[in-house]
Chain A
């Protein structure tokens, strides 16, 4: 007989279980509200206001941080841009190296200096299990 898990009968567990199970209905109710055009309009008005506040706050914060000789968001963005460009450059180097090593392998295989292409690249002749079984049968 399966042992009773008393933890699962605790009020907190049952309450959490109920919340998790009824989430879909709650989310659906709010989603229905979001589907309403008027809600969309109100939401967009609020977003525009938040956007404006965000811009004003950013300008203010940037000036204060510059006065305190501290980096601001735009400084970090500029740094992110530079790091990103470095990362992109590294990826191009990695891709170049990968192509170079591929060409070397192909060249060595062609000249027969110990490496065969098939030893490094798998054969492309796989068949699905059922087809293979049919062929064997």
Chain B
């Protein structure tokens, strides 16, 4: 035996406190993937890809599904697997088991080459292309959309722009719109507005990086609840003997640290038009030369909100239900935070059943 292999053998025979602690907690093995479980593992097929964008179709889990397919539009800055965390804790899996035919847009991780992608690219090109794919694949002429956070905003913009004038013959395929924690009024995003006011030099940031780096996105979101991490760590320590709490914490921790860079072009528009100009509320936000009129949305509409949402506070989201032109519209405020609204025990108990109860009768 050489001296180096002998040293290695001696090292590996030393007691490993991490391993011992994990074993004592009933969590043998230090492999992170083993501890978190398979993230985003619900069986799916990729139907369409365009650049970094992928459109997934989740394999149905029932013998019969509702006629109207559901397209989930995820956020641009977070990984979509928050909606399909692990088996048993997945909104997607829940919808499949309730009999929905589920599709999901994954925007992907923009690279330097994608720094010029704008809201026009997303709202007038990429999203409509996915809608067409869903209609073609499902063989239906209508679909429902569920948008989460910035994904909800993109869905609202597309829904308003594709609705056409009242009484016009061109009919949008959208038949139901569900938004989850979707900001529309930047006056309610006080911290972000103060930070990214006139003094904020977004051009310098974009000149340096092209896209807004994922670390920036993460720090900006953390700054909205500065001591959130500390509280999370304290809760974890107090529940260290409860396996499921530890696992759940690891999953959320992995997701939270797995942000996606913000495409430069979209960021520029969001800072100037949405945050500073509050153009959506002013009624003068133009996307591709067309003015966005929320009143043009006339399909059944549901807005699901979280009571303690620090990312999309109620002040930034409450106007949406009032501004849409739908006669069938509803707002539901549920217990929990921005992430707890869609994932975790609270979501399983409150939000998912509420979503199913609203969407199912409108999907036949």
- Which A positions have Cβ atoms within 8 angstroms of B? 13, 16-17, 19-20, 23-24, 26-27, 30-31, 34-37, 39-41, 43-45, 48, 51, 54-55, 77, 80-81, 84, 88, 91-92, 94-95, 98-99, 102, 121-128, 130-131
Complex Cα–Cα for A31 and B67 (A):
46
**Given A44-B200, A51-B205, A55-B208, A124:B48 Cβ within 8 A:** no
Q: Is the beta-carbon distance between B225 and A126 smaller than 8 angstroms?
A: no
Determine the chain B residues whose CB is within 8 A of the CB of A127 once the complex forms. 364
Complex Cα–Cα for A84 and B113 (A):
10
Q: Is the beta-carbon distance between A27 and B67 smaller than 8 angstroms?
A: no
Q: Is the beta-carbon distance between B204 and A48 smaller than 8 angstroms?
A: yes
Q: Is the beta-carbon distance between B310 and A27 smaller than 8 angstroms?
A: yes
Chain B interface bracket (under 10, 10 to 19, 20 to 34, 35 or more): 35 or more
Complex Cα–Cα for A37 and B200 (A):
11
Q: Is the beta-carbon distance between B238 and A34 smaller than 8 angstroms?
A: no
Q: Is the beta-carbon distance between B46 and A94 smaller than 8 angstroms?
A: yes
Determine the chain A residues whose CB is within 8 A of the CB of B228 once the complex forms. 23, 27
Q: Is the beta-carbon distance between A31 and B205 smaller than 8 angstroms?
A: no
**Given A41-B199, A80-B111, A127-B364, A17:B52 Cβ within 8 A:** no
Determine the chain B residues whose CB is within 8 A of the CB of A121 once the complex forms. 60
Q: Is the beta-carbon distance between B195 and A43 smaller than 8 angstroms?
A: yes
Q: Is the beta-carbon distance between B64 and A125 smaller than 8 angstroms?
A: yes
B10 sits at the interface (CB 8 A): no
Determine the chain A residues whose CB is within 8 A of the CB of B361 once the complex forms. 128, 130-131
Q: Is the beta-carbon distance between A23 and B227 smaller than 8 angstroms?
A: yes
Q: Is the beta-carbon distance between A35 and B191 smaller than 8 angstroms?
A: yes
**Given A27-B227, A40-B199, A122:B109 Cβ within 8 A:** no
